Amino acid sequence: MKGFQKILLFCLTVGLCIGLNLTFSLIVPSGGSAQITPRPNPQQLKQAFDRKDIATAVRLVETGWQQQYEDYYQGRLRSQRLEVDAIARALERTRQETGKTTALFYAIPTPTALELVLISPRSAPVHRRIAAANRSALMQVMQDFRMGVVNRESDESDYLPPARQLYQWMIAPLESELAAQQVDTLIFCLGTGLRSAPLSALHDGQRFLIEKYSLAIIPAFNLLDRRAAKLAGTQILAMGASEFKNQTPLPAVPIELSAITNNLWQGKTLLNQDFTLSNLKAQRAALPYGIIHLATHAEFSPGAIEESYIQFWDAQLRLDQVKFLDFRIPVVKLLVLSACRTALGDPRAELGFAGFAVQSGAQAAIASLWAVSDAGTFVLMSEFYRYLKTAPIKAEALRQAQIAMLKKQVNLKTSLPVKHGEWCCPLS
């Protein structure tokens, strides 16, 4: 699979790592071991589901997954203990504020089955157990799916069969409830092995999942508060680099940053030598930019948190250092990483990806799961910011941008604000 067809598939691997009008609480460093322990206890979880005690099962999942993130980030996370009925009320408030009907979707892999839980604003929670999708079978199909999506030489026969199988296991069992409740936005809370899955590319045989729903990923619902994150009037600080000493160049970055700040959004651009940590902090001190856009290499790696980083012009910012940027004060409503890469399927790497906004303090984060042509990134980001002006939630803006690319309504030429002489960037 090459050229623009591959870029179309790439656009489905960009994920919103929180989304909606929700924001993470502060992480408080505590030190200690970063060992990741499987949680929640599978036997206790099975017993709760066997008793049809969904409330207890959700409580076990929320607590267990929060502990996983605390282990990885080596700190304690402030949280609120919301029961199932309180979560449903919070979703109803979101519906009233945004006009979007949002459901919380738990996908919990266990050794013997995939456990699914759906919590929606105006209905009782629903549980489904998918015995065929035990952990071993699920992880094998998920691996095939990821490889089919990210492999530059793959074609539809490589990624569509596992994409359809995963849809049948994860989405189809709850599809009637989603339709009955007119759900249009799904917040996924995912267990180990699923957190870095390109969910947008799941397929029902006719359409990709993103063509049916707006999507967002969260680590745990109890790590969120419900403060509104209005973007109207927010300025953007767009920073990045097109040249690197030891990494591949990103030649489309100057055009990407210029298009965002000069044509799509009000803000400021800092490129190459000006793309430094000290400049980021100085600019934030001078003006409370509500959107931070970083067009640079970033890596969510296997192993310890210290091995993951964001590349600035003069230094690498390790993931365990991101908290010192303190994007909580003044609040950064949206943080975008437009050229990052995740070690797909690795439990530690996916904790870094899914929990990135927790660590940064930003209310929401958008990042790609793997790297492809930065021309494709430029087209998708241009469309995202265009839709962000009017979309009721960030997840819907990302969805509309992805659909525009899938339907080939946009391309590199249509996204360029002006002609740039002989500038050229390959599409594959």
DSSP 304-369: SGGG-EEE-SS-EEEGGGGGGG-TTTTT-SEEEESSEEE-TT-HHHHHHHHTHHHHH--S-EEEES
Dihedral sign of CA atoms 104, 109, 110, 116 in order: positive
SS3 408: coil
pLDDT tens by residue, 313-337: 989 999 888 888 888 888 899 999 8
Sheet holding 185-190, edge to edge: 126-130, 114-119, 102-109, 185-190, 214-218
Compute the distance between CA of residue 404 and CA of residue 309 in angstroms, rounded to an integer: 31
Radius of gyration of the chain (CA): 20
The mean predicted confidence, pLDDT, of the chain is 83
User: How high is the pLDDT of residue 22?
Assistant: 36
Q: 6-10, 178-182, 268-272, 289-293 — which is least confidently predicted?
A: 6-10
Highest mean pLDDT among 14-23, 147-156, 304-313, 352-361: 304-313
Please state the rounded mean pLDDT for residues 329-356: 76
Domain-by-domain residue ranges, the chain?
A: 15-225, 236-415
Give the model's confidence band at 415: pLDDT under 50 very low, under 70 low, under 90 confident, else very high: low
Who's near 367: CB < 8 A, 6+ residues apart?
14, 15, 17, 298, 336, 337, 340, 342, 353, 356
Return the closest-CA partner of residue 220 out of 60, 52, 51, 397. 60
Give the percent of the chain with pLDDT over 90: 48
Higher pLDDT, 338 or 194: 194
User: How high is the pLDDT of residue 80?
Assistant: 76
User: How high is the pLDDT of residue 323?
Assistant: 80
Q: pLDDT at residue 360 above 60?
A: yes
> Please, which residues bridge with residue 117 across strands?
106, 127
Helix, strand, coil shares, percent, the chain, to 5: 45, 20, 40
pLDDT tens by residue, 221-255: 887 755 656 787 899 999 999 999 888 899 989 99
Give the model's confidence band at 311: pLDDT under 50 very low, under 70 low, under 90 confident, else very high: very high
SS3 168: helix
Both tokens of 315, joined, read 């230094």
Count of Cβ atoms closer than 10 Å to residue 328 Cβ: 17
Higher pLDDT, 45 or 420: 45
Please state the rounded mean pLDDT for residues 1-13: 52
pLDDT tens by residue, 152-187: 777 888 889 999 999 999 999 999 999 999 999 999
Who's near 237: CB < 8 A, 6+ residues apart?
267, 268, 270, 280, 283, 284, 287, 289, 291, 292, 293
The answer to whether 198 and 369 have CB atoms below 8 angstroms apart is yes
User: How high is the pLDDT of residue 89?
Assistant: 94
Q: Where are the alpha helices (DSSP H) in 14-155?
A: 42-50, 54-73, 84-98, 135-150
Highest mean pLDDT among 64-68, 280-284, 317-321: 280-284
Return the closest-CA partner of residue 371 out of 259, 304, 296. 296
Compute the distance between CA of residue 194 and CA of residue 196 in angstroms, rounded to an integer: 6
Q: pLDDT at residue 119 above 60?
A: yes
Q: Is 316 exposed, middle or buried (0-12, 13-18, 19+ CB in 10 A)?
A: middle
User: How high is the pLDDT of residue 23?
Assistant: 36
For the domain 236-415, what is the CATH superfamily, name and number? Flavodoxin domain (3.40.50.360)
Give the model's confidence band at 405: pLDDT under 50 very low, under 70 low, under 90 confident, else very high: confident
Say whether the peptide bond before residue 330 is cis (omega within 30 degrees of 0).
yes
User: How high is the pLDDT of residue 219?
Assistant: 85
Compute the distance between CA of residue 14 and CA of residue 27 in angstroms, rounded to an integer: 25
Return the closest-CA partner of residue 35 out of 92, 82, 74, 75. 74
Q: 108-117, 127-136, 187-196 — which is least confidently predicted?
A: 187-196
